[in-house]
């Protein structure tokens, strides 16, 4: 191998190590951003519950369940799951739950603006990242996993 090739490989390894150190912060950022979006939506629904019920009855076409139940489930999901996601407790379950809320939001609207659809796609991709890779090292899931592994080894 030439010195030039060795330098390129060394630079690649150093960059890769740096990015590995940044991964927990990227996963935390994704969790915080998505949680904020959904939690804010849940608070908006709570602030004007009559309007929320009206929208679920008249505008949103949630399939298979009554509109009142859909309003309660959607609002509860938007308020509870983001808190779990921020803390990093049952992160994969929380991300899956918010993914369902996200998908139902998209399919229940008869017409959705392209910009709004784009936002839902971004949120879905961030949630998918958490489902696939978990919440990362900066989560209570990781603390519990590390603690439980120590107990099993001891």
Domain boundaries defined on the chain: 25-153
Helices (H), 48-90: 49-58, 67-87
Do residues 35 and 99 lie in contact, with contact meaning Cβ atoms separated by under 8 Å? no
User: How far, rounded to the nearest angstrom, does the alpha carbon of residue 119 sit from its chain's CA centroid?
Assistant: 13
Residue 111 pLDDT > 90:
no
Q: What is the pTM of this model?
A: 0.87
Contacts of 53 (CB under 8 A, 6+ apart): 67, 68, 71
Identify which of 67, 82, 69, 75 has the alpha carbon closest to the alpha carbon of residue 46: 75
Report d(CA 63, CA 100) in Å as an integer. Answer: 13
38-95 confidence digits (pLDDT tens): 999 999 999 999 999 999 999 888 878 999 999 999 999 999 999 999 999 999 999 9
């Amino acid at each position: 191998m030439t010195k030039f090739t060795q330098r390129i490989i060394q630079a690649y390894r150093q960059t890769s190590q740096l990015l590995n150190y940044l991964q927990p912060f990227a996963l935390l950022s994704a969790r915080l951003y998505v949680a904020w979006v959904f939690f804010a939506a849940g608070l908006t629904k709570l602030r004007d519950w009559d309007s929320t019920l009206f929208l679920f009855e008249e505008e949103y076409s949630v399939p298979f369940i009554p509109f009142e139940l859909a309003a309660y489930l959607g609002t509860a999901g938007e308020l509870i799951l983001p808190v779990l996601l921020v803390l990093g407790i049952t992160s994969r379950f929380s991300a899956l739950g918010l993914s369902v809320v996200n998908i139902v939001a998209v399919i229940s609207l008869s017409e959705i603006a392209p910009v709004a659809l784009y936002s839902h796609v971004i949120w879905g991709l961030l949630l998918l990242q958490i489902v696939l890779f978990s919440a990362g090292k900066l989560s209570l899931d990781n603390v519990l996993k590390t603690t439980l592994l120590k107990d099993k080894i001891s």
